Amino acid sequence: DAGVIQSPRHEVTEMGQEVTLRCKPISGHDYLFWYRQTMMRGLELLIYFNNNVPIDDSGMPEDRFSAKMPNASFSTLKIQPSEPRDSAVYFCASGYRDRGSLLGARRGYLKAFFGQGTRLTVV
Amino acid sequence: QKEVEQDPGPLSVPEGAIVSLNCTYSNSAFQYFMWYRQYSRKGPELLMYTYSSGNKEDGRFTAQVDKSSKYISLFIRDSQPSDSATYLCAMSGDSNYQLIWGAGTKLIIKP
Arithmetic mean of pLDDT, B16-37: 95
Arithmetic mean of pLDDT, B31-44: 94
Start-to-end C-alpha separation, chain B:
37
pLDDT band at A64 (very low <50, low <70, confident <90, very high): very high
pLDDT score at A111: 85
Q: What is the DSSP letter of A106?
A: S
pLDDT score at A109: 76
Asked if pLDDT for residue B19 goes beyond 60, the answer is yes
Arithmetic mean of pLDDT, B73-87: 97
State whether A110 and B31 contact (CB < 8 Å). Answer: no
Q: Which residues of B touch A93 (CB under 8 A)?
A: 43
How far is the C-alpha of A33 from the C-alpha of A50, rounded, in Å?
Answer: 9
- Largest CA-CA distance found in chain A, in angstroms, rounded: 51
pLDDT score at A106: 56
Q: Which residues of B touch A113 (CB under 8 A)?
A: 45-46
Query: How close is the nearest chain B Cα to the Cα of A17, in Å?
Result: 25
Q: Which residues of B touch A96 (CB under 8 A)?
A: none
Does the beta carbon of B40 lie under 8 angstroms from any beta carbon of chain A?
A: no
Task: Spell out the SS3 assignment of B43-97.
Answer: CCEEEEEEECCEEEEECCEEEEEECCCCEEEEEECCCCHHHCEEEEEEEECCCCC
Asked if pLDDT for residue B16 goes beyond 80, the answer is yes
Start-to-end C-alpha separation, chain A:
36
pLDDT band at A103 (very low <50, low <70, confident <90, very high): low
Select from B42, B49, B98 the Cβ nearest to the Cβ of A56.
Answer: B98
Asked if pLDDT for residue B98 goes beyond 90, the answer is no
**pLDDT, greater one: A68 or B50:** A68
Arithmetic mean of pLDDT, A98-114: 69
Average pLDDT, chain A: 92
CB B63 within 8 A of CB B19: no
Q: Which residues of A touch B93 (CB under 8 A)?
A: none
Does the beta carbon of B39 lie under 8 angstroms from any beta carbon of chain A?
A: no
CB A122 within 8 A of CB A57: no
pLDDT in tens, A2-60: 899 999 999 999 999 999 999 999 999 999 999 999 998 899 999 999 999 999 999 99
Burial per residue of A1-34, b for 16 or more beta-carbon CB atoms within 10 angstroms, e otherwise: eeebebeeeebebeeeeebebbbbbbeebebbbb
Question: What are the C-alpha distances in Å from B6 to residues B18, B37, B53, B65?
Answer: 18, 14, 19, 14
